[in-house]
Structure 1
Amino acid sequence: MIRELDPSRYQAYFFDLDGTIYTGSKLLPGAGELIAHLHQLGKKVMYLTNTTVYTREQCRSRLQSMGLNPEYDDIMTAGYAAATYLLQEQQKVRALVIGERALAQELDGMGIVLTEDPLSATHLIVGLDREFTYDKLAAGMTAVRNGARFIVANPDPFCPVPGGIIPDSWPIAKAIEAASTLRIHAMTGKPSAYYTEQALRSSGLEAERCLMIGDRLETDMMMGMNSGVHTALVLTGVTTPEDLLQSKIVPDYVFATLADLLKQL
């Protein structure tokens, strides 16, 4: 395992958001100082999140409200990745969305045709939905059994919120999979190869020149392990030291907070 971070090794730093840069509406320790220092060093900074409940513009506004000023094109969401994935499909797309308004907005903003009719849908797109109902389950099942491609925006089982966690996209997707008896066709968020390819293309750099910094082993760290991007785990989110000891996923670096990462720069 690499233990001492060499700042000259990386030209781009990829940051997860929830549990890494902020929790709720507050920056986590060292986040602001680290981002400012990376900009001073001339490094590329990107924000790679699996959220489907905020658009890229909303993520940018949230970061700006916390004192950061990211470029719009340096933010990727799982919803945005789903939209770009659909744009590359070889057929005319009519997407049925099970998710919240931001997911539909990301798709619509990229020119994806949306439908509420499961029988006319060519694709089913699933994200976190805090108003998921039996009727939505039935609609998703009907779409998939009628031939719609089953796309899940992100594989997170739960999402951290102030004071605890809530179910994320994956439990909803698995409920539809169980009801339809048909498998999920693709997943477009972290740690998918598709998501990583889009991030690297946007950065303009090779994988070994990039460092992924996040709080989740199964998404942030696995994304790096699958692609050659180096990884730094921060223990400010969902992963505990005990989780790390029990996991087969081994990050290149481990820091208690981003402030500790900053010390090595």
Structure 2
Amino acid sequence: MVNIHDFDAFCFDLDGTIYVGDQLLPGVKETIDHLREANKKILFITNSPTLTRADCQKRLIRMGIAADLEEVLTATFLSALYFQENHPQASIFVVGEKALEEELSHIGLHATKDPMKATHVLVGMDRDFTYEKLNLAMNAVRNGASLVLTNPDPACPVPGGYISDTMAIARAIEAASGRPIDHVVGKPSPFYAKKVLERLQLPADRCLIIGDRLETDIMLGKADNFRTCLVLTGSSCKEDVGRVKIFPDYIVENLEIFFSKRRRRRSISI
């Protein structure tokens, strides 16, 4: 079972793990408080492409979860870091929301509204996505721009169900342009894992990744030697484990039973 002494750092996904919409999930505050009392390092690691780091921090604090800005990693922030480190002179056509543009601007990267001047098309979830945006992004890629995604999620859990996420939009651009996706920044990419380890300054096997999605959260751990815990409060269910053949080290129903002696017997260790 999950033993607090086995790890020096705990990395929590947000949507579907810490909260759904504006609802804090069971046991979250108690779990985070327990880890703080034990002087464990904590990171909040999200693939959300619609929030800046500051947005996430404010949201957590509003829900009663203390969080420093440096404890938050988002797909928007890491997308900006990816370009800063690998393509600092890029001219980026953004398909996404205000948070993505803000993170790029904060680092001093150049975004263009002219698809014919773009060296890269950066795609995130865009709740105002239109046929016009599809055509502009398609023409940029057809003109030679590389297609980069903030995250690979096809859908995002919300109260009452799901909404379409980044991959749904990116697949439309890919199909229309006839060009494959060139790079994905978010979990489970090696770039994301590298930034987690840089922030924590710990060996991977001393860090536990906790999340609700097998294909992103758990795969992040499996690909980079972190241990992992699947929480059944979001996208993936217990039956998905055998179906997709991605096996977390631990499975718990929710964070209410993460460290509970009574519920430890009900948790599943694989």
TM category, shorter: over 0.9
Select between 238-247 and 16-25 the one with higher mean Cα deviation. Answer: 238-247
Question: Which residue does 1:18 correspond to in 2?
Answer: 15
Q: Are positions 1:181 and 2:178 aligned together?
A: yes
Q: Are positions 1:56 and 2:53 aligned together?
A: yes
**Are the aligned partners of 1:46 and 1:74 in contact in 2 as well (CA < 8 Å)?**
yes
Question: How far apart, CA to CA, are the structure 1 residues paired with 2:87 and 2:189?
Answer: 20
Secondary structure class of the residue paired with 1:156: coil
Cα-Cα RMSD: 1.2
Quote the offset at 1:242 in angstroms.
Answer: 2.1
Q: Which amino acid aligns with 1:197?
A: K
Question: How far apart, CA to CA, are the structure 1 residues paired with 2:87 and 2:135?
Answer: 27
**Are the aligned partners of 1:30 and 1:262 in contact in 2 as well (CA < 8 Å)?**
no
TM-score (ref. length: structure 2): 0.94
Quote the offset at 1:263 in angstroms.
Answer: 1.4
Unaligned runs of 5+ in 2: 265-270
Runs of 4+ with deviation above 4 angstroms: none
Q: Give aligned-pair identity as a percent.
A: 45
Question: How far apart, CA to CA, are the structure 2 residues paired with 1:247 and 1:150?
Answer: 27
Q: Are positions 1:126 and 2:123 aligned together?
A: yes
Unaligned runs of 5+ in 1: none
Q: Are positions 1:151 and 2:148 aligned together?
A: yes
Structure 1 residue corresponding to 2:214, chosen from 194, 213, 217: 217
The size of the alignment, in residue pairs, is 262
Structure 2 residue corresponding to 1:93, chosen from 76, 90, 93: 90
Quote the offset at 1:165 in angstroms.
Answer: 0.4
Quote the offset at 1:141 in angstroms.
Answer: 1.0
Question: How far apart, CA to CA, are the structure 2 residues paired with 1:90 and 1:168?
Answer: 25
Question: How far apart, CA to CA, are the structure 2 residues paired with 1:208 and 1:190?
Answer: 18
Deviation string, structure 1 residues 11-58 (Cα, Å, up to 9, x no partner): 010000011001111210000000000010010000000001111101
Question: Which residue does 2:235 correspond to in 1?
Answer: 238
TM-score (ref. length: structure 1): 0.96
Q: Are positions 1:72 and 2:69 aligned together?
A: yes
Select between 4-13 and 44-53 the one with higher mean Cα deviation. Answer: 4-13
Deviation string, structure 1 residues 62-90 (Cα, Å, up to 9, x no partner): 00001011110110111111100000125
Question: How far apart, CA to CA, are the structure 2 residues paired with 1:90 and 1:117?
Answer: 18
Deviation string, structure 1 residues 86-126 (Cα, Å, up to 9, x no partner): 00125511111001111111111111111110011111100
